[in-house]
Structure 1
Amino acid sequence: MSTSAGGTSRRANPGPQAAARNRAALLAAAREIFAEHGSHAPLNAVARRAGVGQGSLYRHFPDRIALVLTLFEEQVSTVEEIARDPGVTLADLLGLVTRHAIESVVSIDVASAAPERRPDPRLMDLRERTAVVLGSRLERALADGEVRPGTTVDDVLLAVEMVAAALTRRPAADREAYAARAWQLLGMKVNVPGR
């Protein structure tokens, strides 16, 4: 604590460190809340779980879509990071995308949001990044028979969207088995990593 000129004590301003901690706490809380209740869960529940006020939430994420897209961007970045390993296959990348969908309906809700409205440019950027990273393994997957002959990157993205959308109607405990069945029906090999 420091003392002001008038002799009253006040707490030192933690500054940027507190802001970074609050942001990290909000993201962790949002992952949990959205996994439990979907991305339409009340944002005040996210702030409460993070232990911060709603003002802090809105300073970091001015609206729900900003928060949801930040979480989705983290998932895309993880897939990109894993793809830096040249030994990683399309089946491995699809498995990671599937694990994200199983554990968090954030990517599911974002991918299926308001088809009648023009898509958010940030979402389109994340979709393009996903297409690039999945497309980087498609040729080898075709050669190895992991996907049907003639499969395109758009086909792979459509399959991801179909599986993810199907998972929105399943309880969390059933999603893993349901996703495995969906990929099998689509005729695509997918290696879903354990938790």
Structure 2
Amino acid sequence: MFTETQNSLLAIILLAYFLFLIVFAYLVNRRVKTYEDYSVAGRTVGTFPMTLTLVGTAIGGSILLGYMTNGYELGMGQIWLGLVAVVPSVIIVTVLATPIRRLGARYGMVTLGDFSALVYGKQARVPTAISMLFAYCAITGMQFVAIATVLTLTTGLDMTLGITLSWIMLTIKTVLGGLKSVVFQDALHGTIQTVGIFVLFVV
């Protein structure tokens, strides 16, 4: 797909971008003082970055690689699948985010298990944790495959090695910076992806 020179250039760009994310996560980590800072960004994330991080998360590998492929092969009816995610996201940001934040701050809650335990009792923690484990194994797995696909297409890297590198990269930047780092990185990614999609319509 690309020449050897182009592959080398793309590999350098991807490496530089990854290093930028690592440095950014490290700088954010230096400001983390408490567990609450690390796990829920100190409950200080505003509506705008929250919206962008939802966009950055929603417009990920499944959208750019999956839905677009299905749309090309099966038609524009695939857009309804995306709208299923858009409506709940809008409701979460505009209606539920503030009450959830206040409730979490009041009771010192940082996980969905905490919320489940508050409403249904401590016994609800285990099924909540299990359901989240299954859900995020699938979601995170899609991200690994998406990044590996990009690496394979741009640099010719083996898919299995690409998945392994994706796992290492995402783990390092997430563990190093905590939620605040993830939120603002997602906001950056969401902005780049959104602008890039509109640019593709032009070029």
User: TM over 0.5: same fold?
Assistant: no
TM-score by length of 1: 0.28
Larger radius of gyration: 1
TM-score by length of 2: 0.27
Higher relative contact order at CA 8 Å, sep ≥6: structure 1 or structure 2? 2
- Structure number with higher helix proportion: 2
